[in-house]
Amino acid sequence: MVISMIRMVPGGQQVILLNKGVKLFDKNAHPEFYGDLETGVKIPLEFDTSIIRIAAYDNGKIFRDTTGKKKITDVNIELFTDGTVKYSINIDKKGSTPDVTVPLNTLAPNGVIYVER
């Protein structure tokens, strides 16, 4: 069993998202999870992102290392139901920028958001 996320929902139930679906537990349940870190697992994650990158250049949003030194760029993005997006950027694990909140159609009018490296 692979657990993706555990979170509380109204009514005191825990939602546990599994690789095979969603399972609800009430406050009286005591699920037990067994497992450990498994090393040596190779999952191929390489695929061609050029179409996404091209779409982001064409009226989307590209987040990248602004220092020009090809540092790793982490982006924290929250999407809200009112159509706004809150984001912050952390380049080379040096600390995040202040949160910026903008309408999604302003950040990426075509809806494509791409993070380089």
- Span 30-82, pLDDT tens digits: 666 556 666 777 777 777 888 888 999 999 999 888 778 888 888 988 888 88
Question: Are residue 18 and residue 71 in the same domain, yes or no?
Answer: no
Range of the domain at 94: 50-115
Tens digit of each residue's pLDDT (9 = 90 or more) over 9-30: 445 555 444 545 555 556 676 6
DSSP the chain: --EEEEEEETTTEEEEEETTEEEEE-TT-----------S---------HHHHHHHHTTSEEE--TTSS---EEEEEEE-TTSEEEEEEEETTS-BPPPEEEEHHHH-TTS-EEE--
pLDDT of 94 higher than 50: yes
Question: Are residue 19 and residue 56 in the same domain, yes or no?
Answer: no
pLDDT at 26: 64
Total number of domains constituting the chain:
2
Question: Are residue 54 and residue 11 in the same domain, yes or no?
Answer: no
Residue 88 within any structural domain of the chain: yes
Residue 66 within any structural domain of the chain: yes
Question: Are residue 67 and residue 105 in the same domain, yes or no?
Answer: yes
Residue 1 within any structural domain of the chain: yes
Question: Are residue 63 and residue 106 in the same domain, yes or no?
Answer: yes
| pLDDT band, residue 99 (cuts 50/70/90) | very high
Residue 39 within any structural domain of the chain: no
Residue 40 within any structural domain of the chain: no
